[in-house]
């Protein structure tokens, strides 16, 4: 298993659990906004998705090229979306730019792994 995929899987599992258990805290840290009502429900559903996605790419599991490709696309799109939020809107908590940086690094690491694996 490539290291960027393992790191991304672990972080997404942890983020998923946090969204399921304490969605308001994640909303505050990431967006500097309070979540309530339907946003709590939506955050928990997203958390379940991230948790499941992370488990599908978990280190030591039988990951496939599809899992690596899915994690690459996910990290790329999250990087672009969170950066856009930070630049063009009032949303932005203390963890927004660290999250953008993390997902950008994961995107580069996963892309590099894909390029290397395609050459081999």
The band of 70, judged by pLDDT with boundaries at 50, 70 and 90, is confident
Query: Taking 70 as the threshold, does the pLDDT of residue 54 lie above it?
Result: yes
Structural domain boundaries of the chain? 3-119
What pTM was computed for the model? 0.75
Rounded mean pLDDT, 27-51: 93
List, in order, residues 6 or more apart from 67 with CB less than 8 Å away: 5, 56, 57
- How many CA atoms lie less than 13 Å away from 102 in the CB half-sphere? 17
């Amino acid at each position: 298993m490539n290291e960027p995929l393992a790191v991304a899987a672990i972080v997404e599992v942890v983020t998923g659990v946090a969204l399921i258990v304490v969605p308001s805290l994640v909303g505050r840290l990431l967006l500097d906004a309070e979540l309530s009502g339907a946003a709590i429900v939506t955050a928990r559903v997203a958390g379940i998705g991230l948790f499941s996605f992370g488990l599908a790419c978990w280190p030591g599991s039988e990951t496939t090229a599809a899992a690596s490709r899915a994690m690459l696309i996910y990290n790329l799109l999250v990087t672009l979306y969170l950066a856009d939020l930070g630049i063009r809107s009032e949303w932005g908590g203390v963890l927004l730019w660290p999250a953008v940086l993390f997902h950008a690094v994961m995107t580069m690491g996963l892309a590099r792994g894909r390029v290397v694996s395609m050459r081999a």
